[in-house]
Structure 1
Amino acid sequence: MLRLLDRLEETLVAVFIAAATLIIFAAVVHRYSLSLLADVVGYSRREQIEWLSELSRSAYFGLRSVNLLWAQEACIYLFVWMAKFGAAYGVRTGIHVGVDILLNRLPPARQRVMVLFGLLAGATFTAIIGTLGADFVWHIRLAGTTSPDLEVEMWLIYLAVPLGSFLMCFRFLQVAWIYLRTGDLPSHDHGHVDGVDEDADAAAMAAGHHLPHDR
Structure 2
Amino acid sequence: MFLRLLDRFEEAFISLLMVAAVLLIFVAVCQRYSVSLLADLVSWSRANGHETLMGMARSAYRSVVGVNLLWAQELCIYLFVWMAKFGAAYGVRVGIHVGVDVLVNAVGPRWRHLLVVISLFAGALFTAIVAWIGGKFVYGIAQTAQVSADLEVPVWIVYLAVPAGSLLMCFRFLQALVRFVQTGELVHHQPAADLVAETEQGLAENQGARA
TM over 0.5: yes
CA RMSD of aligned residues (A): 1.8
Size of the alignment, in residue pairs?
200
Cα distance in 2 for partners of 1:156, 1:33 equals 33
In 1, Cα distance between equivalents of 2:135 and 2:32: 38
Q: What secondary structure does 1:150 align onto?
A: coil
SS in 1 for 2:101: coil
- Paired residue type of 1:108: P
Tell me, in whole angstroms, the C-alpha distance in 2 between the residues paired with 1:176 and 1:42.
Answer: 66
Task: Quote the residue 2:151 is aligned against.
Answer: 150
**2:135 matches 1:134:** yes
Q: Which residue of 2 aligns with 1:210?
A: none
Structure 1 residue 144 displacement after superposition: 1.4
In 1, Cα distance between equivalents of 2:106 and 2:67 = 61
Q: Structure 1: which 5+ runs fail to align?
A: 206-215
The separation in 1 between residues aligned to 2:88 and 2:194, in whole angstroms, is 20
The CA deviation at 1:99 is: 1.4
Q: Distance in 1 between matches of 2:103 and 2:167?
A: 29
Q: C-alpha separation between the residues in 1 aligned to 2:193 and 2:127? A: 30
Q: How does 1:69-148 map to 2 (within 5 A)?
A: 69-148=70-149
How many percent identity over aligned positions? 54
Structure richer in helix, relative to its length: 2
Aligned to 2:48: 47
Deviation at 1:26, TM superposition (A): 0.4
- State how far apart, in whole Å, the 2-side matches of 1:188 and 1:142 are: 42
Provide, for residues 85-104 of structure 1, a one-character-per-residue CA deviation record: whole Å limited to 9, x for no partner: 00000001001111112210
Q: Residue 26 of structure 2 corresponds to which residue in structure 1?
A: 25
Q: Where do 5+ consecutive residues of structure 2 fail to align?
A: 205-211
Give 4+ residue runs of structure 1 displaced > 3 Å after superposition: none
Match of 2:192 in 1: 192
Q: Distance in 2 between matches of 1:32 and 1:194?
A: 43
Query: For residues 193 and 13 of structure 1, what CA distance do their matches in structure 2 show?
Result: 24
In structure 1, how many angstroms separate the alpha carbons of the residues matched to 2:49 and 2:149?
42
Letter in 2 for 1:70: W
Once the 2 structures are TM-superposed, how far is the Cα of residue 201 of structure 1 from its aligned partner? Answer: 4.9
2:178 corresponds in structure 1 to 177
Distance 1:115 1:156 in 2: 35
SS at match of 1:69: coil
Q: 1:65-123, CA deviations, whole angstroms, 9 ceiling, x for partnerless residues? A: 00011110010000000000000000010011111122101100000000000000000
| TM-score under structure 1 length normalisation | 0.89
- Secondary structure of the residue aligned to 1:143 is coil
TM-score, reference length from structure 2: 0.91
Query: Partners in 2 of 1:109 and 1:69 — Cα distance?
Result: 57
- 1: distance between equivalents of 2:99 and 2:110? 20
CA distance in 2: counterparts of 1:201 and 1:88, whole angstroms: 31
SS in 2 for 1:149: coil
